[in-house]
Amino acid sequence: MEEKILLKEGIDIDLKGRGGDTPPAEPNINEYDFFVLEEALNLDREEIIEQIKEAYLKGRGGAGFPTGLKWEMALAEEAEQKYMICNADEAETGTFKDRYLLENVPFKVLEGIIIGAYAIGAEQAYIYMRGEYARPRNVFSKAIEEAYKQGLLGEDILGSGFNLELRLIKGAGAYICGEETALLNSIEGKRGRSRTKPPYPIQKGLFDQPTAVNNVETLASCREIIRIGAKEYKSLGTKESRGTKLVCLSGDIWKPGVYEVEFGQVTIKEIVEEYGGGTRDDAQLKFIIPGGASTSILPAEKLDIPYCYETLAQAGSSVGSGAIIVVDDSHNLFDLMVTVSRFFMDETCGTCFPCKEGNRQVNHILNKVADKGGFSKEEVEIVKSIGRTIYLSARCGLGQTSLNFIYSILKNYPDEVLLGGDKHGKD
Amino acid sequence: MGDVSFLERLHNLQDTYGYIPEKEIVSLAEEYDVPKAKIFGVISFYSMLYTEPTGKFIVRVCDSLSCYLNESDDLVRAVKDYLGIGHGETTEDKRFTLEVVECLGYCGEGPVMMINDKVYTYVSEKKALNILSNCL
């Protein structure tokens, strides 16, 4: 298999080799050519947006909203001040692609931010980075500092007449702040609780002004679209999934890491077996989680499908953030459910009561179930009922997706998780 | 509080004192003209900000799914045993505070441990105890 390289541009990290303790060399601004930025600043705002729309780029943070459309709406808003925000609050379990980009190709991300800000007419931008990302923060802070010195930020960028201030905001340990409205509250110095939508950030975002919030990989992809042109970008991938995607392989696998995949050209099975080298110690693959802990699992026998938005949706799951977590058959399913459930119980922001209390109750039930080694029919009903309630009443993605993992385990492995006498009760 | 610098100020206080003392909360409340509880509410929302003194070394061990699949539960147990404290606790000599946390973003290299700003990956129990014994 050949990797279609756009985002990674030949830079690779050998995870096994460096063991994290000796990080790769820091990128040098003098060795980077900002020609794509220069080209973009010579285009009209509408032309850039047209390119992104034509490329049919979907947001790479997890929700998959069309980026061009977001920018078009942001540009159309009339306001004295608009904001561009780069969401670098990567915290979905299994996801580390944005850290990869921030550490290895920070200038590409920087170009993406500037291009996005220019396209929507924002003169103030922020990059909100999770507090735990100390090294990416150091690398990117330096990139910002040097960019100011070289006239790539500040007034009259590259003689274009466009002004942009960019500031890094350090998060303080809250998964929910990756949700765009919670992120806005956090930048405003408040508790990172989600807001009710509408109004959407595009209309009333940071300090009630029109705001575009885009993921790190999304912005880096925008830079690539301007570089190679929308036509070439959209020739990659499938009808609903254009271009490439960074996938993060982790779990029970020989070669974990960040890989760039052209949508639709490889199957999930190939990603696991050929990129990832298959499951460790010749254990049997049990299932994978395709897009982080908030997406539904896909059992081993259903992985022979091309990796793209449409096939994953058909299979009842989602591309999500691109975090493929591989799980072999050596684990106790109850322990895995307790682990994932604890994540959501710890990370709910607590605003919507069903999400706050529901996830706590589910965790409580799962601990009980793990102790006795199986669900009773009644316990399954309670978990499902709590799940429905959270799904219907939580106002953000965290709550709505918090039980996908548990649900999909119940659905795929009823015989393994139901107590003996209740096994015939599956629906 | 309605100010992009607010979170940064909290981080600075946290870095200065190792926690955010009440006298600073009182003065922030006066400056922003909001009740003390509101400032406290913001601080307590974020897991990296503390209102009680922490140890010199804040040890964060990831126990999320990807690390769990790489036996992070053994690592968590070994670190707890070595330090003699549980999640959220500080050793008597004020050297260590232990946090068992969700995802540190190094999922391909688990199990993962972070001490203050430094991340350690592929942390075996032996490696962990070696690292901790060098935290002086």
For residue B124, give the chain A residue with the closest CA. A19
Q: What percent of chain A has pLDDT over 70?
A: 93
Check CB contact under 8 Å for A191 and B41.
Answer: yes
User: Model pTM?
Assistant: 0.94
Q: What is the pLDDT of residue A25?
A: 73
Q: What is the pLDDT of residue A23?
A: 60
Q: What is the dihedral of CA A59, A214, B121, B64, to 10 degrees?
A: -70
ipTM of the complex: 0.96
pLDDT-derived band at A426 (thresholds 50, 70, 90) equals very low
> What are the residue ranges spanned by the domains of chain B?
6-45, 57-133
> What are the residue ranges spanned by the domains of chain A?
29-234, 244-328, 333-422
Out of 3.40.30.10, 3.90.600.10, 2.40.160.10, 3.30.1600.10, the CATH code matching B57-133 is 3.40.30.10
Task: Work out the widest C-alpha separation in chain B, in whole angstroms.
Answer: 51
User: At residue A4, does pLDDT exceed 80?
Assistant: no
Is residue A251 less than 8 Å (CB to CB) from chain B?
A: yes
The 10s digit of each residue's pLDDT in B89-136 is 999 999 999 999 999 999 999 999 999 999 999 999 999 999 999 998
Domain A333-422 has CATH 1.20.1440.230: yes
Domain A244-328 has CATH 3.10.20.600: yes
Out of 1.10.3720.10, 3.30.360.10, 3.90.780.10, 3.40.50.11540, the CATH code matching A29-234 is 3.40.50.11540
Residues 6+ apart with CB under 8 A from A364: none
Check CB contact under 8 Å for A256 and B108.
Answer: yes
Interface of A with B in 18-57 (CB under 8 A): 19-21
Asked if A49 contacts A68 with a C-beta cutoff of 8 angstroms, the reply is: yes
User: What span, in angstroms and rounded, lies between the C-alpha atoms of B123 and B128?
Assistant: 6
Straight-line distance from the first to the last Cα atom of chain A, in angstroms, rounded to the nearest whole number: 40
Task: Pick the residue of B3, B28, B109, B119 with the most A CBs within 10 A to test the interface with A by mutation.
Answer: B109
Question: Distance of CA A189 to CAs A265, A279, B84, Å?
Answer: 44, 44, 36
Q: What is the pLDDT of residue A27?
A: 86
Neighbours of B86 (CB within 10 A): 10
